[in-house]
């Protein structure tokens, strides 16, 4: 690990590619890790306590977080100070998500990875003052270091880490389950409830905004008529998610590749301001019979009304029609390497969609494919040679501003 001129931590790493997606393995001091990570919310710990009293012992995975049970942490802290201390298992993290469940859209705050060639990468962590990495597994070990005496040299012990940079919050449960279900007794429903990865496990009325966002992202990636068909990665379901009937059709070449994190976050931002709090509200025992309908509307997010009402089809149709227009009038005419077709451009188009929804009445006619295509017709010459914009927050702002100016928004 080194500290660059901006004060960022730069960690040499190796990239591992697997069906779910890529992750990076590196080492970092325990005291630094405790500053830049966060753990599970208190309400989950309360539920685990309740389960423990029933003999389910869910605390085996997360019990180290319980304030009234410090003995296990103290035992690990004592072990850390021995000459035989070793932690060969990785602390598993998912970076670039805030504790409210939204993606960190400020490029200056996001963890990044740079290919250095020869199979080596650098993971760059911008600041020790911005905890934006969730601990998927290993908080038991990591937080024990906080029980060491102040100034203990062991606090600087290096720990093996694995980090996912583009894994949406609901998919954290997939990793959590893979690690733990075959090793310790963990209630599967707990893992799903914890992260909202329960499209197939819970009635639609009880879907959190995160669950719906994942579901709609899957549809956009797998429906052959979708403008984002086969364009979203990682596809955790692998090629099996595409039906055999699709395979018989001629595959449409993907116009671009979009991270699942970008799409899930974009959808979340048109239906929720705080996905985690919405999830907790929907899942409260008193709301079991009404589900989403317990949530409050937000005037600036009209699509939220459709979410609350359970009209997921309308949300999907608006997304499809909107991105069909964007594909036709923004992405296709743009130069090959234009940032209109990369992360900052996709984020900007979601920004424009959110503003458009707030100002343009939502009717079948006003959000039809034809109406939206006509609306975005002035955008065909934004970046024909592919060199106009840059990959930064400034680039995103510029794209958003010019798109809105072109359509008179």
Render pLDDT for 298-313 as a digit per residue (tens, 0 to 9): 999 999 999 999 999 9
Say which residue, 168 or 371, is predicted with more confidence: 371
**Least reliable range by pLDDT among 62-76, 276-290, 364-378:** 62-76
Strands 37-38 and 21-29: unpaired
Q: What is the pLDDT of residue 40?
A: 53
- Bridge partner list, 137: 92
Q: Tens of pLDDT along 199-213?
A: 555 688 888 898 888
217 token code pair: 């992202």
Let me know: does 231 contact 221? Beta carbons within 8 Å: yes
Let me know: does 28 contact 8? Beta carbons within 8 Å: no
Q: What is the C-alpha separation between 388 and 383, in angstroms, rounded?
A: 6
47 token code pair: 């539920």
Give Cα 306 distance to the centre of its chain. 22
Instruction: Detail the DSSP E strand segments found in 241-315.
Output: 258-259
Please say if the pLDDT value at position 64 is more than 80: no
Q: What is the pLDDT of residue 170?
A: 67
Q: What is the pLDDT of residue 251?
A: 54
Let me know: does 135 contact 39? Beta carbons within 8 Å: yes
Q: Tens of pLDDT along 312-363?
A: 999 999 999 999 999 999 999 988 888 998 889 999 999 999 999 999 999 9
Q: What is the pLDDT of residue 202?
A: 66
- Return the C-alpha torsion angle 179, 197, 22, 176, nearest 10: -20
Q: Tens of pLDDT along 11-21?
A: 999 999 887 77
Question: Mean pLDDT, to the nearest integer, of 61-76?
Answer: 55
Question: Mean pLDDT, to the nearest integer, of 105-134?
Answer: 90
Let me know: does 28 contact 142? Beta carbons within 8 Å: no
Strands 2-3 and 9-18: antiparallel
Q: What is the C-alpha separation between 95 and 102, in angstroms, rounded?
A: 11
250 token code pair: 């001629």
Residue 346: partners with Cβ closer than 8 Å, 6 or more residues away: 256, 258, 262, 263, 266
Q: Considering only CA atoms, give the Rg of the chain.
A: 23
């Amino acid at each position: 690990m080194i500290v660059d001129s901006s004060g960022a931590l730069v960690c040499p790493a190796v990239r591992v590619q697997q069906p779910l997606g890529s992750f990076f393995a590196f080492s970092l001091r325990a005291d630094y890790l405790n500053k830049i990570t966060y753990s599970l919310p208190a309400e989950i710990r309360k539920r685990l306590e309740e389960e423990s009293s029933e003999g389910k012992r869910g605390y085996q995975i997360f019990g180290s977080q319980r304030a009234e049970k410090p003995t296990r942490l103290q035992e690990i802290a004592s072990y850390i100070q021995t000459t035989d201390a070793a932690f060969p298992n990785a602390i598993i993290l998912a970076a670039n998500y805030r504790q409210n469940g939204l993606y960190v859209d400020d490029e200056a705050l996001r963890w990044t990875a740079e290919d250095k060639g020869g199979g080596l990468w650098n993971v760059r962590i911008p600041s020790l003052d911005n905890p934006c990495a969730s601990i998927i597994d290993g908080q038991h070990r990591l937080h024990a270091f906080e029980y060491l005496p102040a100034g203990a040299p062991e606090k600087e012990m290096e720990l093996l880490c694995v980090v996912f940079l583009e894994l949406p919050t609901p998919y954290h449960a997939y990793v959590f389950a893979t690690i733990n279900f075959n090793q310790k007794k963990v209630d599967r429903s707990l893992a799903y409830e914890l992260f909202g990865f329960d499209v197939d496990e819970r009635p639609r009325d009880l879907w959190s905004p995160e669950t719906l966002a994942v579901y709609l992202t899957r549809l956009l990636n797998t429906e052959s008529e979708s403008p984002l068909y086969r364009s979203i990665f990682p596809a955790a379901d692998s090629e099996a998610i595409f039906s055999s009937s699709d395979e018989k059709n001629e595959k449409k070449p993907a116009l671009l590749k979009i991270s699942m994190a970008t799409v899930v976050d974009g959808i979340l931002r048109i239906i929720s301001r705080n996905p985690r709090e919405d999830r907790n509200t929907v899942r409260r025992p008193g709301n079991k019979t009404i589900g989403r309908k317990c949530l409050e509307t937000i005037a600036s997010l009209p699509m939220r009304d459709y979410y609350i009402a359970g009209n997921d089809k309308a949300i999907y149709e608006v997304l499809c029609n909107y991105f069909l227009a964007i594909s036709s009038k923004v992405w296709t005419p743009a130069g090959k390497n234009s940032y209109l077709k990369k992360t900052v451009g996709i984020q900007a188009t979601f920004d424009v969609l959110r503003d458009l929804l707030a100002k343009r009445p939502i009717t079948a006619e006003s959000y039809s494919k034809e109406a939206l295509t006509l609306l975005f017709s002035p955008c065909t010459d934004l970046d024909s040679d592919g060199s106009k914009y840059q990959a930064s927050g400034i680039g995103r702002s510029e794209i958003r501003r010019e798109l809105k100016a072109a359509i008179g928004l």
